[in-house]
Structure 1
Amino acid sequence: MGEFELIRHYFAAASCAQVGEGVALGIGDDCALLDLPAGEQLAVSTDTLVSGVHFPDSADPFLLGQRALGVSVSDLAAMGATPIGFTLALTLPTAEPTWLQAFAAGLDQMARQCALSLIGGDTTRGPLSLTLTVFGRVPRGLALTRTGAQIGDLLCVGGDLGAAAGALPLVLGQRQAAAEIAEPLLARYWSPQPQLALGQALRGKATAALDISDGLLADCGHIAAASGVALMVEQARLPLSAALLALLGEDAARHCALSGGDDYRLAFTLPAEHLAELQAAGWSLHVIGRAEAGHGVQLLDHRGQCITPPARGYQHFGNPSD
């Protein structure tokens, strides 16, 4: 099967490849064309996932399709953007029909769930890797960024932390667990749910935001550096799921929450006056700390004393514990 036949058969024919809102021209030409309403800006983000680095070589292709797109769309959520479309650059060692069919089905399911149109991309031969670029729109001046956190803001997250990191031994076959424990953890790893609606609800309220991909402490460090504040994380207030606690126990679960990565929850700073309004609207927000004068991220124990975590998060180049 040639490159263009592969694209037509597995991707151009998928339901997510049909032209949707904001897409004037999709797959089939040299470029896609996007329409933006007046007063809105284009949000763009690119992620690459490499076999053996971001997912196991033996990964189920359906689950991989879901995960690859979910991870990328999370960046749109972090900016408060409304999704428009995405491109896929797919590098494959061989064009295996069974693998391609399952991968395309998983990709399509996540795309429909996130209201995204597949608008183009590329295929080539080589070691398995996936590069996705996502496009969204956001009202001018209302995008959530990493700058803007103010002294006195609350530090919040949009749900429990650490589940995907806790699932990694299950994903790699290094550990087993009962279904009621394993299934919710594996779902968090393979089917991350971008918090798009929450990001949009935070427009005009949150002062800074990002999605947690490399670990809470490491990613909060980006907000602290960009905003010129110190973020104080209260260890006792970390939200941990029952499944994660049952699998690992409290100490290891807390470590996953702090530095494990792959959560794809939103972390954001919020003036205290907005908290009650958001909670009354039904958003599951967890206050885990605050912004103070200073720099960097500090982890506090139950007495409010600073403690040193064993690791802060993942880095591709450099010491993972930095």
Structure 2
Amino acid sequence: MSGKGEFDFIRDRLAPLAAGFKGALGLKDDAALLSVRAGRELVITADTLVEGRHFLKDTDPALVARKALAANLSDLAAMAARPLAYMTNIVWPSGSPEDFRTRFADGLALAQDDYALPLIGGDTTSGDGPWVIAITAFGEVPAGRAVLRSGARISDRLVVTGRIGDACLGLKVAQKQYQPSSEDAEYLVGRLNLPTPRLPLAEALQAHAHAAIDVSDGLIADARHIADASGLGVTIELDELPLSDAARRWLDEQDDTRAARLQLASFGDDYELACAVPEARVDTFLAELRKGGVDGRVVGHFHDGTGAAVLSDGQAVEAGAGGFTHF
């Protein structure tokens, strides 16, 4: 790294992000102190973003920071948890200029203000490889009320929040593989770089969902994760995929709309929630989502069996992995 040293950066740019949280100890100790209220359980999650794999090399560091935190908080949202604090470990590319690190810290400040939680610690170093950001987030949930992947039951409906596939198209725009209108381009790239964790839906999930997961690897793959954890199979209806207006305009240009829908359902980075909801509660659950400003749609169901079956117009579709794989 160039410019200020590690401890100068921590003191000047990261320590202010811990202000007001007593257990952070001003980022001056080797660890932090975190308490959970009586009757609550601590929920902990960690995610790593790698330059060139999870975000493009020339992405604004402030956007990378915001996405890194939002992606992590999406895991808390899937378990119906309220965020408390986070830690960040960063491997800066060797020779990173001071402005690069400053932009990242600026983005973190914006992100944690959005979600009202402090930085409480972590580590910074540098290396010759790609830029790596690892965040650990802490949340709390009423004891026994966490929504797990393993709770789906036979005949539960697969409900997905928001829109699926925008991040896929945002990457195409960013890589100049697709050139929509300037309005659609701005929207799609924004969905890629600035996901919205569905934290306000915690109470609705606790009240109605048997299981949930955030859609980070792809809707098909993530729905299969719920099914596998619950010892069930899942059927997904591609024609019910909830799409934004921008995604529909892209779809209208495609020769093979079935393959196009499959691509959108398999890409990931949507950071919506896929939930297993009892059929009798679906209408109530969808109504509560709307009260929270989020649409929801039934896109499939859970049943006896294994794996994920994908249908379009009633016909089976070969989905392959159905999402992103890390190895």
The TM-score with structure 2 as length reference comes to 0.91
Alignment of 1:69-88 (within 5 A): 69-88=69-88
| Contact 2:24–2:121 (Cα < 8 Å) also in 1 | no
Partner in structure 2 of residue 302 of structure 1: 313
1:271-310 Cα deviation digits (max 9, x unpaired): 122222233332521111111111111112223x322225
Aligned partner of residue 149 in structure 2, secondary structure: coil
CA distance in 2, matches of 1:96, 1:13: 21
Partner in structure 1 of residue 52 of structure 2: 52
For structure 1, list consecutive stretches of 5 or more residues without a partner in the other structure: 318-322
Q: Is 1:5 aligned with 2:5?
A: no
Q: Is 1:280 aligned with 2:283?
A: no
Question: How far off its partner does 1:109 sit?
Answer: 1.1
Aligned partner of residue 287 in structure 1, secondary structure: strand
- For 2:52, the aligned partner's letter is G
Partner in structure 2 of residue 179 of structure 1: 182
CA distance in 1, matches of 2:266, 2:106: 32
Question: How far off its partner does 1:63 sit?
Answer: 1.0
Aligned partner of residue 209 in structure 2, secondary structure: coil
CA distance in 1, matches of 2:249, 2:97: 39
Question: How far off its partner does 1:96 sit?
Answer: 1.7
1:141-179 Cα deviation digits (max 9, x unpaired): 110111011111111001110000111122224443322
1:160-217 Cα deviation digits (max 9, x unpaired): 1000011112222444332211111111111100001113421132111100111111
- Of 79-88 and 101-110, more deviation after overlay is shown by 101-110
Aligned partner of residue 151 in structure 2, secondary structure: coil
- Of 286-295 and 97-106, more deviation after overlay is shown by 97-106
- For 2:91, the aligned partner's letter is T
1:114-141 Cα deviation digits (max 9, x unpaired): 2221000111011311111000001111
For structure 2, list consecutive stretches of 5 or more residues without a partner in the other structure: none
Partner in structure 1 of residue 241 of structure 2: 238
Aligned partner of residue 278 in structure 1, secondary structure: helix
CA distance in 2, matches of 1:174, 1:293: 41
After superposition, the Cα gap between the structure-2 partners of 1:141 and 1:25, relative to the gap in structure 1 and judged at 3 Å, is farther
- For 2:33, the aligned partner's letter is L
Partner in structure 1 of residue 125 of structure 2: 124
- For 1:142, the aligned partner's letter is R
Question: How far off its partner does 1:26 sit?
Answer: 5.4
The TM-score with structure 1 as length reference comes to 0.92
Identity %: 41
Aligned length: 313
Instruction: Choose which of 287, 297, 300 in structure 2 pairs with 1:289.
Output: 300
CA distance in 2, matches of 1:158, 1:130: 27
Structure with greater helix percent: 2
Alignment of 1:89-128 (within 5 A): 89-92=89-92, 93-126=94-127, 127=129, 128=131
- For 1:56, the aligned partner's letter is L
Partner in structure 1 of residue 277 of structure 2: 270
CA distance in 2, matches of 1:254, 1:23: 47
| Contact 1:23–1:84 (Cα < 8 Å) also in 2 | no
CA distance in 2, matches of 1:137, 1:33: 15
After superposition, the Cα gap between the structure-2 partners of 1:13 and 1:25, relative to the gap in structure 1 and judged at 3 Å, is closer
Question: How far off its partner does 1:24 sit?
Answer: 6.7
Partner in structure 2 of residue 314 of structure 1: 324
| Contact 1:240–1:253 (Cα < 8 Å) also in 2 | no
After superposition, the Cα gap between the structure-2 partners of 1:165 and 1:23, relative to the gap in structure 1 and judged at 3 Å, is farther
Partner in structure 2 of residue 210 of structure 1: 213
Partner in structure 2 of residue 223 of structure 1: 226
After superposition, the Cα gap between the structure-2 partners of 1:24 and 1:63, relative to the gap in structure 1 and judged at 3 Å, is closer
After superposition, the Cα gap between the structure-2 partners of 1:285 and 1:176, relative to the gap in structure 1 and judged at 3 Å, is same
Partner in structure 1 of residue 264 of structure 2: 257
Aligned partner of residue 56 in structure 2, secondary structure: coil
- Of 139-148 and 271-280, more deviation after overlay is shown by 271-280
